């Protein structure tokens, strides 16, 4: 048995997230269909995390086990010849059989991009949330520091049966403006469902002046955060092994 690992990249605009869902186009579903053509058998792919519908990934790690040994360059070429244009394989390698992309990765970096402008640029529009409001970047940056460390993020997430632990250790949370686009960077080993988008939404509404740091502290103390940033502005930027 061989444990293959893939470094993927995909545009989330036309996907209903990572996880297979009946009658919906998902990253996992499209990838497993492609692998079944290459290996001539049905294979189950494990992903490093779930992504919401519309969320993008520059780096995404997945693994699957198969009994056949295929040359890695041939596998990469075969997959990229089958996969649609909004998805691709950057790298293929082998790991030990106990490696799981879901549990073995050491961290994930998400970047949320928001563009406070009336200008519409179709070349960047699919990858950010454009809002017609000015944002106080300094206030957002100061507030982002409140998320650092270990907190109960129940108020920022939708917990399910698979994920019962609401405590997450945030290693990085920062806000920076680059060429007019505001980037919210959040790094941790694991995240809860909707957590990153709700942290981003919280900081964006704070930047609008509709929230203050006391509100953020109350959210971290258990008051429900009602603000969820649009999915298209979020990109899984990097996965750390």
Residues with active-site annotation = 52
Alpha helices in the chain (DSSP H): 27-39, 72-82, 101-104, 137-144, 195-208, 213-220
Interatomic CA distance for residues 171 and 173, integer angstroms:
7
Kindly give, in sequence order, each residue whose CB lies less than 8 Å from that of residue 9, ignoring residues fewer than 6 positions away. Answer: 57, 58, 59, 60, 87, 88, 90
Kindly give, in sequence order, each residue whose CB lies less than 8 Å from that of residue 103, ignoring residues fewer than 6 positions away. Answer: none
Please state the φ and ψ torsions of residue 94, each to the nearest 5 degrees.
-105, 140
Across the chain, the runs of DSSP E, i.e. the strands, are 2-10, 46-47, 56-66, 87-95, 107-116, 129-131, 149-152, 167-178, 181-188, 234-240
C-alpha distances (whole Å) from 76 to each of 33, 40, 112, 237 are 15, 16, 29, 21
CB-side exposure of 166: number of CA atoms within 13 Å?
13
Strands 129-131 and 107-116: parallel
């Amino acid at each position: 048995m061989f444990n293959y690992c893939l470094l993927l990249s995909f545009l989330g605009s036309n996907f209903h997230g990572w996880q297979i869902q009946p009658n919906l186009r998902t990253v996992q579903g499209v990838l497993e269909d492609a692998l079944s053509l290459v290996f001539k058998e049905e294979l189950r792919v494990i992903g490093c995390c779930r992504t919401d519908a519309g969320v993008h990934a520059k780096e995404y790690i997945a693994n699957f086990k198969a009994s056949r040994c295929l040359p890695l360059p041939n596998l990469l070429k075969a997959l990229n010849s089958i996969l649609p244009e909004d998805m691709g394989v950057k790298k293929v390698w082998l790991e030990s059989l106990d490696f799981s992309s879901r549990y073995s990765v050491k961290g994930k970096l998400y970047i949320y991009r928001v563009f406070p402008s009336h200008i519409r640029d179709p070349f960047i529009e699919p990858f950010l949330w454009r809002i017609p409001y000015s944002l106080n970047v300094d206030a957002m940056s100061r507030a982002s520091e409140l998320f650092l460390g270990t907190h109960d993020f129940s108020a920022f997430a939708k917990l399910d049966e698979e994920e019962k632990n609401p405590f997450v250790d945030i290693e990085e949370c920062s806000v920076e403006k680059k060429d007019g686009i505001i980037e919210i960077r959040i790094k941790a080993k694991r995240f809860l469902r909707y957590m990153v988008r709700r942290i981003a939404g919280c900081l964006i509404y704070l930047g609008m002046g509709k929230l203050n740091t006391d509100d953020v502290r109350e959210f971290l103390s258990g008051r429900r955060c009602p603000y969820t940033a649009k999915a298209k502005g979020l990109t899984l930027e990097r996965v750390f092994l």
